[in-house]
Amino acid sequence: MRSNSSNIRVRFAPSPTGYLHIGGARTALFNWLYARKLGGVFVLRIEDTDIQRSTQESIDAIIDNIRWLGLDWDEGPILQSQRFHAYGGYAERLVREGKAYISEEKKGAKPAVILKRTSDLIVVDDLIHGRVEFDPEVVGDLVLMKSDGTPTYNFACVVDDSEMCITHIIRGDDHLSNTPKQLVLYRALGLTPPQFAHVPLILGPDGSRLSKRHGATAVGQFREEGILPEALVNFLALLGWSPGDNREMMTLEHLVASFSLERVSKKSAVFDAKKLAWLNMQYFKLRPTAEIARMALPYLEEFGVLPEEIPLPRLEAVVRLLGERFRNLRELAEKAHYFFTRTVRIDDTLFEKHLQKENAAAAIREVTGRMRALEEFTPESLEREMRAVIAERGVKAGELIQPVRVAVTGRTETPGIFETMALLGKEAVLARLEDALGRCGKRAAQGENG
RNA sequence: GGCGCCAUCGUCUAGUCUGGUCUAGGACGCCGGGUUCUCAACCCGGUAACUGGGGUUCAAAUCCCCAUGGCGCUACCA
């Protein structure tokens, strides 16, 4: 546990009924930033009172992803299910004091404990929204303990937050309507409520609350795509908050230094995947090549390249050559895998367009010959030979380079062709050029016969 | 339906509290140009917003009211 200079205590309390969501991650981040900024304590509490839907797998995944984001906690994880004993006493006390009553016996089930309604105006003093008033009638009678003997969410939440001495509850806007219920509970229990800060929701591009139908929404999915944690954290921080000085790229340290609840927006924010992609690219620029190469290894597998067929130094050279041509690791693998395969596949339309053109075969045949004679297979020597052929035939550079690019890589967009071929190596380049020439010949023969 | 929250470029936002310096700034995206063997990256340029209507005021993106719209909550789920 780290030393704390304030008595601020915040918590992140996910319910383990699924994976860690983008919205949850941002709530966790804001809580963490607040605690770290003010020297407070960050508590991780797992709200697993819904035993039907809560799973251990989900708990593990949530914890794993919080760590991956670079966040840590000072206390917990505390499982609510381990605290079932704590709630009954409070409920009994409220009954004893005449503030709650026991529901009518339903056959076969235990009676529920229900808090009687109050008539006092309920005022939420929200750190982000300011003063919000609620008619106590919207709360009505409140179930505390359900017929199955477990506490309701709002009751467990209040008891836990109080016992854990939580001073600030930072959570999603969707809970603002829950707050009057909790306030009523604090009042009934004679407890001082914590400060509330309701942060805006994260929306999908269509303006409705972000959900699965908008595509990737779980932290784990972004992780799998090859999004860097620092990029995701940075992006999330900018959703509903800004430093106010036009800064875009910020590390966790920067965020801690400049974070404040006063600068959190009231307006919900639309998740912009393109901006995330851009940020991710920016962060890739800051990562050492060797590190990126190591991270890319498993992604190459998805393209049928076995990790043992990938010498790390060679992969590093590929990553270096790729430069800024990828926005996530999956994209990197997609643009790198042809460096590791024996042959390339060129689909018909591509072949048609670039290799069936007038004189393409003849030109390729000529460069192939020149390359075969090359002692040194370097970007310089390759460029020299290619340029010679280009000059000789009086064509534009692209007219030779594009067909060669397609023949050698199977795609129209690659890093510089000379560097690409040099890295591919003489043997592979010649083999691929000859494959292409063979296919040209076959096509030509077919054309003549048919 | 009831209750609540919110409202600046397509998007994230600065500016609103403490009216004038805002002919509204930055970023992503998009469009155009440069560079160039393609694609990126990079550099230059451009596009584009104060939801509407009433007030208050010498002055309103900023304060007030109403309307409209969007979202959220309306469980013995969390």
Q: Where are the beta strands (DSSP E) in A205-263?
A: none
**Closest-approach nucleotide to residue A174, Cα vs C1':** B72
Q: Which residue lies nearest B6, CA-to-C1' measured?
A: A267
Q: Which nucleotide lies nearest residue A419, CA to C1'? A: B37
For chain A, give the mean pLDDT.
92
Distance from residue A373's CA to nucleotide B22's C1', rounded to whole Å: 68
Instruction: Report the candidate in A297, A321, A293, A322 with the shortest Cα–Cα distance to residue A308.
Output: A297
Amino acid identity of residue A444, one-letter, is A
The set of strand B positions with any atom below 7 Å of a protein CB reads 2-8, 10-15, 25-29, 36-42, 70-78
Q: DSSP letters along A170-215, please? A: EEEGGGTTTHHHHHHHHHHHT----EEEEEPPEE-TTSSBP-GGGS
Helix H or strand E encompassing A161: helix A153-163
User: With pLDDT > 70 as the criterion, what percentage of chain A qualifies?
Assistant: 96
Query: Protein A244 CA to nucleic acid B15 C1', in Å?
Result: 10
Strand partners, A78: A45
A212, two tokens: 């699965």
The amino acid at A125: D
What does the pLDDT look like over A380-437, one tens digit per residue?
Answer: 999 999 999 999 888 889 989 999 999 999 999 999 999 999 999 999 999 999 988 8
Confidence of residue A6 (pLDDT cuts 50, 70, 90): confident
* Per-residue pLDDT at A355: 77
Q: State mean pLDDT over A363-372.
A: 92
DSSP A396: -
- The integer distance in angstroms from the CA atom of A107 to the C1' atom of B24 is 67
Which protein residue's Cα is closest to nucleotide B38 at C1'?
A: A413
Nucleotide with smallest C1' distance to residue A245 CA: B14
pLDDT at A447 over 70: no
Q: Are A388 and A370 in contact (CB under 8 A)?
A: yes
Distance A179 CA to B74 C1' (A): 13
- Angstrom distance, A246 CA to B27 C1': 8
Digit-coded pLDDT (tens) for A259-311: 999 999 999 999 999 999 999 999 999 999 999 999 999 999 988 888 888 99
Active-site residue numbers of A? 212
From the alpha carbon of A272, which nucleotide's C1' atom is closest?
A: B11
Q: Please write the tens of the pLDDT for every residue from A268-277.
A: 999 999 999 9
Query: Distance from residue A136 (CA) to nucleotide B75 (C1'), in Å?
Result: 18
Give ipTM to 2 decimals: 0.94
- Lookup: nucleotide whose C1' is closest to A411 CA: B38
A162-182 as b/e: b if 16+ CB within 10 A: bebebbbbbbbbebbeebbbb
pTM confidence score: 0.93
**Distance (Å, whole) CA A170 – CA A168:** 6
| β-bridge mates for residue A134, sequence order | A122
Residue A353 has pLDDT above 90, yes or no: no
The secondary structure of residue A381, as a DSSP letter, is H
Q: Closest Cα partner for A135 from A126, A125, A124, A122?
A: A122
